[in-house]
């Protein structure tokens, strides 16, 4: 990648401040759950935050993948110039996902407010993220080189898979600022939880309470499954009080 083809972004738009740390134990506790999004979704419902995006909307590229980690955010916007003219004459790539990877800490999740029908992340970018210890990406928009990102174990939840590059069609305007993913606000440091069912965004201020409620549900669900593993009749199945999930 040459200086002429690398993305350019005004350094003033890259927020270099230290991201807030997740409450101790939150990421570890949620990541230890097999398929955590259902329980996280229920807890977010109880707390009145609509932070769930269905996996049929943002589809995972690697079946069975799960990731839980703090968000590092990036926002793209369309370029007004004719992309074919830019590609033919300018060769100026204004995407700057590599700058976000440069700020990535091990365990971070890249969250991109991007464009539909074009790539916001390709194979080189996925390799950068993997090299820096990023868990994967959530992208409201398209990606390409999906075979490569699958091969290196860098899962992506995205709306489109396409060969059409975004390099001449959009530009990065901010890193580590607020973004919106399918109507859900995401701030740097918010906890991203993603699996085969959904992508869930947990505001940092709710992370402790969401985790507490989720761990309580793990216990009650385990008790239900233990009962179902017996030969006892379903008429004896314990019906949990809905309040148990909210207290």
Domains defined along the chain, listed by start = 11-33+49-204 (3.50.30.40)
Nearest to 96 by CA among 151, 194, 176: 176
Q: What six digits make up the tokens of 23?
A: 């409450």
What's the pLDDT score for residue 118? 95
What's the pLDDT score for residue 90? 66
Intervals of the chain under pLDDT 50: 1-7, 242-247
117: left (phi over 0), alpha (psi -120 to 50) or beta: left
DSSP lists the bridge partners of residue 143 as 161
- Can you tell me the distance from the alpha carbon of 91 to that of 80, in angstroms, rounded to the nearest whole number? 15
Question: Does residue 208 have a known ligand-binding role?
Answer: no
- Can you tell me the distance from the alpha carbon of 229 to that of 204, in angstroms, rounded to the nearest whole number? 37
pTM of the complete model:
0.86
Q: Which residues of 62-87 are buried (b: 16+ CB within 10 A; e: fewer)?
A: beebbbbbbbbbbbbeebeeebeebe
Question: Does residue 164 have a known ligand-binding role?
Answer: no
What's the pLDDT score for residue 8? 54
């Amino acid at each position: 990648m040459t200086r002429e083809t690398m993305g350019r972004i005004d350094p003033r738009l890259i927020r270099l401040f230290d991201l807030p740390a997740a409450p101790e134990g939150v990421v570890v506790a949620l990541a230890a759950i097999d398929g955590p999004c259902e329980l996280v979704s229920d807890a977010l419902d109880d707390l009145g935050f609509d932070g769930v995006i269905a996996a049929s909307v943002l589809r995972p590229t690697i079946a069975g993948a799960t990731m839980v980690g703090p968000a590092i955010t990036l926002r793209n916007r369309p370029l007004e110039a004719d992309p074919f003219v830019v590609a033919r004459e300018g060769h100026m790539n204004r995407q700057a996902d590599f700058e976000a990877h440069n700020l990535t800490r091990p365990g971070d999740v890249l969250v991109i407010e991007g464009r539909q029908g074009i790539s916001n992340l390709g194979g080189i970018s996925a390799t950068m993220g993997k090299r820096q210890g990023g868990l994967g990406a959530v992208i409201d928009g398209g990606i390409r080189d999906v075979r490569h990102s699958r091969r290196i174990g860098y899962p992506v939840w995205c709306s489109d898979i396409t060969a059409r590059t975004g390099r001449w069609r959009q530009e990065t305007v901010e890193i580590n600022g607020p973004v919106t993913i399918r109507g859900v606000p995401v701030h740097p440091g918010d906890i991203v939880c993603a699996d085969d069912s959904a992508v869930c965004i947990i505001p940092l201020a709710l992370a402790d309470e969401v985790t507490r409620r989720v761990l309580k549900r793990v216990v009650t669900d385990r008790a239900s499954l233990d009962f179902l593993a017996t030969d006892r009749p379903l008429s004896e199945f314990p019906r949990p009080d809905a309040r148990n999930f909210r207290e």
